[in-house]
Amino acid sequence: MKLAKLPDRTPVKMNVVLAPSLAKRLCEYADFYAESYGSKEEVAELIPFMLEAFLDSDADFRRGSKKRHGGSMGVAS
């Protein structure tokens, strides 16, 4: 079979505590997102995508992950 087994897609709920200033900035970002795309999204809906984009864009993290995992991060895109 050419298609690999699908990865675990069970959502994991995490609770975090944010500084008021960060919570405000996230709300401002959600407003900016709505202005940019004409679609209002809740901050909680944006955060997972923001974190994924941040991790994907961190070259040092990618390099370190490749070293730790033998050249493959094991993450499906």
| Residue boundaries of the structural domains of the chain | 42-69
- pLDDT tops 50 at residue 27: yes
In terms of average pLDDT, the best of 6-10, 21-25, 59-63, 72-76 is 21-25
- Average pLDDT of the chain is 89
Residue with tokens 């050249």: 71
Predicted local confidence at residue 77, as pLDDT = 44
Instruction: Output the CA–CA distances (angstroms, integers) from residue 23 to 18, 29, 34, in the order listed.
Output: 6, 10, 17
